[in-house]
Amino acid sequence: MDSRLSGRIAVITGASSGLGKATAIRFANSGARVICADLKSAGVEDEINSQHGKDRATFIQCNVTEESQIEGLIKQSAEWGGRVDIICNYAGIAAETAHGIAQGTAPKCHDFPTEDFDRTMMINCRGVWLCCKYALKQMLEQEPREANARGERTRGWIINAASILGLVGLANTPAYSTSKHAVVGMTKQMAIDYAQDRIHINALCPGFVKSPMIQHYTDDPEIEAVLAARHPWNALGRAEDIADAALFLASDEAAWISGHSLVIDGAYTCQ
């Protein structure tokens, strides 16, 4: 337990499982009030409230492919919390997992289904962009928070879920890699536009993390070992590893950091 996010209102998309769930719990443990957004509730908000008391967390249903639902998410979050200080854009998919990426059988660009590419970009890229759009509108309208150690009054923190595949390539990931490179790019661009408004905009670039997104691979010990061996650390990441990185980027300890893509990958990209 700590108080680094005490009194802050945090919206987390994709909060019902994996990285989103771990971050929602980590933020609540650090003093934030948390809006858990996803297609359906998995009880994360109840878990948080049972530990920290009523109204520490709530659930708002949101499909990030629907702009009106994203706009509604930010509006309802501001009504519930009085403002929106933080948004973590975690909702995403990896369409290639259905095509056997771990076995090296996923199709390359010329054979990849266009509808799977479009769906990936709709969720992983457009969805993140729209969440940023409406969160930024809200942050610009509200009063900045109290001055930090730098004497600056910050208006907000945006954390986008990218990937190491937003920085390097990987065979047979024509949709996922494209979408995550786009997230890294939009994070840099937005960081420039909103620096004068004192809105921090950063991205997380995890390596392979043991989470529901790749569960059907990690359920097979042999495939999990292959994935782990791609990292010099010889281990997969944990959702909590990513949540801890998100906490740093959402705290005053990152007061002079914006436009950065923070790599959490067991040295994968050092190779």
Q: What is the pLDDT of residues 183-210, one digit of tens each?
A: 999 999 999 999 999 999 999 999 999 9
In a domain, 69, yes or no: yes
Q: d(Cα 130, Cα 13) in Å, to the nearest integer?
A: 12
Give the pairing type, strands 33-38 and 57-61.
Answer: parallel
Asked if residues 24 and 44 have their Cβ atoms less than 8 Å apart, the reply is yes
Q: 209: which DSSP letter? A: B
Residue 185 is part of a domain; what is its CATH number?
3.40.50.720
Q: Is residue 3 part of a domain?
A: no
Note the pLDDT of residue 215.
Answer: 80
Compute how many other C-beta atoms are within 10 angstroms of the C-beta atom of residue 134.
21
State whether the Cα torsion 214-172-90-161 is positive or negative.
positive
Q: Which residues of the chain have pLDDT under 70?
A: 1, 99-105
- Supply φ then ψ for residue 115, to 5 degrees: -65, -30
The β-bridge partners of 38 are 61
For the chain, how many structural domains are there in total?
1
pLDDT for the residue 220: 83
264 in any annotated domain: yes
CA dihedral 98, 103, 108, 113 (to 10 degrees): -20
Q: How far apart (Å, rounded) are the C-alpha atoms in residues 192 and 181?
A: 17
Q: What is the pTM of this model?
A: 0.95
In a domain, 94, yes or no: yes
Reply yes or no on whether 176 is catalytic.
yes
**Given the residues 90, 176, 194, 217, the one annotated as active site:** 176
Please give the pLDDT value at position 100: 63
Residue closest to 205 by CA, chosen among 261, 257, 254, 246:
261
Tokens encoding 232: 């010099």
Residues sharing a CB contact under 8 Å with residue 159, sequence separation 6 or more, in sequence order: 86, 87, 88, 89, 202, 203, 204, 246, 249, 250
Report the pLDDT value the prediction gives residue 218, as an integer from 0 to 100.
81
- Let me know if residue 220 belongs to a domain: yes
* Residue 91 falls inside a structural domain: yes
Task: Report CA torsion sign: 52, 64, 93, 89.
Answer: negative
183 and 161 Cβ atoms separated by less than 8 Å: yes
**Residue 4: inside a domain:** no
The parent domain of residue 231 ranges over 9-270
Nearest residue to 98 via CA among 19, 228, 225, 214: 214
| pLDDT the model gives residue 206 | 98
Reduce the DSSP state of residue 33 to 3 states and report it: strand
Q: Are 150 and 255 in contact (CB under 8 A)?
A: yes
